[in-house]
Chains A and B, each alone.
Chain A
Amino acid sequence: RKEVEQDPGPFNVPEGATVAFNCTYSNSASQSFFWYRQDCRKEPKLLMSVYSSGNEDGRFTAQLNRASQYISLLIRDSKLSDSATYLCVVRDVGFNKFYFGSGTKLNVKP
């Protein structure tokens, strides 16, 4: 079983739509959670950390559900520039290792 699992997509949505991605993780002792964005042929870049109480950054909202061991990312009012692959990342209890999901591809269409 993979440490972190994501739906690979692609999610094809029109501009202005709201879209949500989920990600599940297997280690209940995991400490920290993140969403990264990766554009084609580029490096992953941190989009946002995910806090226990949930957090928002502009059009992006992240949620953590420890009981069910999943995190989510909600994007409101999608822009063409949001088209990318979104990676779910979990940091282990020892702090030294990070586990990456395989990514969810988002295509925002005009």
Chain B
Amino acid sequence: DVKVTQSSRYLVKRTGEKVFLECVQDMDHENMFWYRQDPGLGLRLIYFSYDVKMKEKGDIPEGYSVSREKKERFSLILESASTNQTSMYLCASSPSVAGNQPQHFGDGTRLSIL
């Protein structure tokens, strides 16, 4: 089974802090993704990466950056946390090959910015 592990289930931080969310996958997948999910807005893509050191902006990259130094690890960074970044953050991975290859999600991190 694919395992995607997010470092924290719940996290509370203060406005202005630099926040790191970590994600690790054990299936040698090329693609990794960070989403946030808010009530009524569905899943929104923040950033994704299709290879080590490669990244592409998703739909809502403002206020976030990412790092992918190793294939199995994809980090999301909130440079200066703000209250509107309180949300559920979901990491996912998938292989890049053709065919019916789905995404697999981590358990999610519920982040509260006070």
Residue positions of A touching B, CB distance < 8 A: 31-34, 36, 41-46, 49-51, 87, 89, 91, 95-98, 100-103
Contact = CB atoms under 8 A, between A and B. Distances in A.
A51 B96 contact: no
B84 interface: no
Given A98-B94, A100-B42, A32 B107 contact: no
B27 to A, nearest CB: 13
Contacts, number: 56
B11 to A, nearest CB: 15
Interface of B: 31, 33, 41-43, 45, 48, 50, 56, 88, 90, 92, 94, 96-108, 110
B48 A89 contact: no
A45 B41 CA distance: 18
A43 B92 CA distance: 10
